[in-house]
Amino acid sequence: MSDYLYGYGPAEQERLLRQARYWKRAGLFDGVEFRPGEAVLEIGCGAGGVLGVIHELQPAATLSGIDVEPRQVEHASAHLRELGAPDADVVAGDATELPWVDGTFDTVWMSWFLEHLVDPRRVLEEARRVLKRGGRIVVCETDYSTFKVHPESPNYDYLEQAQYDYFERHGCATAGRLLGPWLTAAGFVEVQNVLAGFHHYQVPGDDRLSQHANYVAEFIEPTVERLATSLDLDADRLQLGVEHLRSVGADPRGAMTQIVYRALARRAG
């Protein structure tokens, strides 16, 4: 895994908590029930936002998480303690060598993690290993070719292409659409991959367009300098793309589309 594009500072940690709550409101967790006592592992748990949402959905679940960055693990542990989950087992470690024995978990969750990997197969095989027989995996990813706005803008197109190109070099820009083949190749059964299209447009009294545009801008804007440096691009033009993205929420003609995928599969019983 390459260095995390978004960094590990306090601002990014708080953004990750907001991101988890945002996707909860948007329905990413809908239909995924957690039982009392269920053992749940999040791989790539970051600052603990998703584990916090799972705790809110099922306070009696047993939570574990792993992240390569100790600063994220420290923040996640503190966040979960604040939410009333002091016994969560959150550790720093390598997702290709999980520190749990075979058949430990009922559910493994990953979101916006595999996109950072050039080859996710070993991580998925490890996820299958630590699942109980019949246990499930839930994986959420996007496709960086699907972030479209109206009115169109050459500067925004430049920014969108930069995001896509960065993930193609350092991970996988189209991870969402590949989840089905990846899970099948890793030995999972009952594989499903369902897309959720998010299309928001300007409606008086409805701020969902502005919320989504600002959500996306919030994670892209801090990366402008790194995108410019790593891809030899014009940072000023990338910033103009961010500004255009933010502007669509206030434009009477404004609209934005993004595709998100959620895959579910099981370890064979």
Give 95's pLDDT tier (boundaries 50, 70, 90): very high
Report the distance separating Cα 117 and Cα 119, nearest Å: 5
User: Is 2 a domain residue?
Assistant: no
Structure confidence at residue 183 (pLDDT)? 98
| All residues at 6 or more sequence positions from 139 whose CB lies less than 8 Å from its CB, including other chains | 109, 110, 111, 114, 179, 183, 262, 263, 264
Q: Tell me, yes or no, whether 163 lies in a domain.
A: yes
> What's the length of the chain?
269
Say which CATH number the domain at 167 has. 3.40.50.150
The whole domain housing 28 covers 10-266
Q: In a 3-state reduction of DSSP, which class is residue 205?
A: coil
Task: Note the pTM of the prediction, 2 decimals.
Answer: 0.94
Q: Which of 8-17, 40-49, 172-181 has the lowest mean pLDDT?
A: 8-17
Name which residue leads in pLDDT, 32 or 2: 32
Looking at the domain assignment, is residue 117 inside a domain?
Answer: yes
What pLDDT is attached to residue 5? 83
Specify whether the CB–CB gap between 132 and 103 falls below 8 A: yes
Is 80 exceeded by the pLDDT of residue 227?
A: yes
Q: Is residue 248 part of a domain?
A: yes
3 in a structural domain: no
The yes-or-no verdict on residue 202 having pLDDT over 70 is yes
The radius of gyration computed from the CA coordinates of the chain, to the nearest angstrom, equals 18
Mean of the per-residue pLDDT values of the chain: 96
Give residue 8's pLDDT.
Answer: 86
pLDDT band at 237, cuts 50/70/90? Answer: very high
Residue 4 placed within a domain: no
Bridge-based pairing of strands 255-266 and 131-142 is: antiparallel
User: How much is the pLDDT for 188?
Assistant: 98
Structural domain count of the chain? 1
Find the mean pLDDT for residues 29-48.
Answer: 97
Among residues 79, 57, 85, which one has the least CA distance to residue 67? Answer: 79
Name the percent of the chain lying above pLDDT 90.
95
Asked whether residue 233 is assigned to any structural domain, the reply reads yes
- 117 pLDDT above the threshold of 70: yes
How does pLDDT run across 6-36, given as a tens digit for each residue?
Answer: 888 899 999 999 999 999 999 999 999 999 9
Q: Is the pLDDT of residue 1 over 80?
A: no
Any domain includes 1: no
pLDDT at 6: 85
Q: What is the mean pLDDT of residues 181-197?
A: 96
